[in-house]
Chain A
Amino acid sequence: MGTRTSNRLAAFIRPITESAVAVAIGLIVGAFLMLAFGYDPIRAYAAMFAGAFGSTSGILESLAFATPLMATAVTFAVGVRASLFNIGAEGQMYIGALAATVVGGTILMPAGVHPIVATIVAMCCGALWALPAALLKTWRGVHEVVSTIMLNWIAFWFVTFLIRTYFAEPGRAERAIPAVATARYPVIGGTLTAMIFVVVIFCIAVTILLWRTGIGFELRLVGDNPEAAKYAGASSSRAILTSFVVGGLAAGLAGASQVLGRPPSWTIYATLGNLLNLGFDGIGVALIGMNHPIGGIFAAIFYGGLAHGGRFMEYNVGVASELVDAINGIIVIALSMPEVIRIIRRRRES
Chain B
Amino acid sequence: MRRLQWYLITAIITVAVMFIISLAGFEPFGLIETGLLAMTPLALAAVGECLNEQAGTVNVGMEGIFLITAVLGVYWAEIFDSGLYGLLLGAATGGLIGLVFGIACVHGKANQVIAGMGLNIMALGLGPYLLMSIWAFPGIHIFPRQLMLQPVRFMIGEVYFSISAVTIVAIVVAVLAYLLLHRTLLGIRIRAAGENPIAVDVAGINVGHVRILMCVIGGALAGLGGAFMPLAWFGGVVKEISAGRGFIALAAVVFAGLDPLLALAAAFIFGFSEGVAFTVVVSPGVKEIIPFYFVQMAPYFVTLLILVAAIGGKKFPRALGKPYVRE
Q: How far is the CA of A306 from the CA of B108 in the complex (A)?
A: 27
A142 close to chain B: CB less than 8 A? yes
Of A149, A322, A330, which is within 8 A of B132 by CB?
Answer: A322
A340 close to chain B: CB less than 8 A? yes
B128 close to chain A: CB less than 8 A? yes
Proximity string of chain B (285-323) to chain A, C-beta cutoff 8 Å, 1 when within and 0 when not: 000000101101100110110011001100000000000
**B120 with A329: CB separation less than 8 A:** yes
Given known A-B contacts A320-B128, A320-B132, A146 and B303 have beta carbons under 8 A apart: yes
**A140 with B117: CB separation less than 8 A:** no
Contacting residues, chain A, for B74 (C-beta < 8 A):
none
**B244 with A161: CB separation less than 8 A:** no
A108 close to chain B: CB less than 8 A? no
Of B112, B133, B293, B300, which is within 8 A of A161 by CB?
Answer: B293
A324 close to chain B: CB less than 8 A? yes
Q: How far is the CA of A70 from the CA of B98 in the complex (A)?
A: 32
**A320 with B133: CB separation less than 8 A:** yes
- What's the nearest-Cβ distance from chain B to residue A322, in Å? 4
**A330 with B291: CB separation less than 8 A:** no
Closest to A29 in B: B122
**A329 with B125: CB separation less than 8 A:** yes
Given known A-B contacts A320-B129, A337-B104, A328 and B121 have beta carbons under 8 A apart: yes
Given known A-B contacts A146-B250, A158-B293, A161-B294, A140 and B312 have beta carbons under 8 A apart: yes
Task: Report which residue of B63, B133, B248, B307 has the largest number of chain A beta carbons within 10 angstroms of its beta carbon.
Answer: B133
Given known A-B contacts A153-B244, A332-B114, A336-B110, A146 and B254 have beta carbons under 8 A apart: yes
Contacting residues, chain A, for B64 (C-beta < 8 A):
329
Q: How far is the CA of A339 from the CA of B63 in the complex (A)?
A: 26
Closest to A320 in B: B132
**B129 with A150: CB separation less than 8 A:** no
**B128 with A333: CB separation less than 8 A:** no
Closest to B101 in A: A333
- What's the nearest-Cβ distance from chain B to residue A152, in Å? 8
Given known A-B contacts A332-B118, A335-B114, A336-B111, A140 and B125 have beta carbons under 8 A apart: no
Closest to A323 in B: B129
Of A146, A324, A325, A339, which is within 8 A of B247 by CB?
Answer: A146
**B128 with A322: CB separation less than 8 A:** yes
**B114 with A336: CB separation less than 8 A:** yes
B109 close to chain A: CB less than 8 A? yes
- What's the nearest-Cβ distance from chain B to residue A252, in Å? 20
B188 close to chain A: CB less than 8 A? no
B176 close to chain A: CB less than 8 A? no
Q: How far is the CA of A157 from the CA of B296 in the complex (A)?
A: 7
Given known A-B contacts A161-B293, A165-B291, A333-B118, A141 and B311 have beta carbons under 8 A apart: yes
B31 close to chain A: CB less than 8 A? no
Given known A-B contacts A287-B114, A337-B109, A332 and B121 have beta carbons under 8 A apart: yes
Closest to A330 in B: B122
Q: How far is the CA of A142 from the CA of B308 in the complex (A)?
A: 7
A45 close to chain B: CB less than 8 A? no
Closest to A159 in B: B293
Given contacts A320-B132, A322-B129, A335-B114, 13 further A-B contacts (CB under 8 A): A142-B311, A146-B251, A153-B297, A157-B296, A161-B291, A324-B125, A326-B125, A329-B126, A332-B122, A336-B104, A336-B115, A337-B110, A340-B109
> Can you list 7 A-B pairs, Cβ within 8 angstroms, ordered by A?
A136-B308, A283-B121, A325-B121, A325-B122, A325-B126, A333-B115, A337-B110
B residues sitting closer than 8 Å to A (CB atoms) are: 60, 63-64, 104, 108-115, 117-129, 132-134, 138, 243-244, 247-248, 250-251, 254, 291, 293-294, 296-297, 300-301, 303-304, 307-308, 311-312
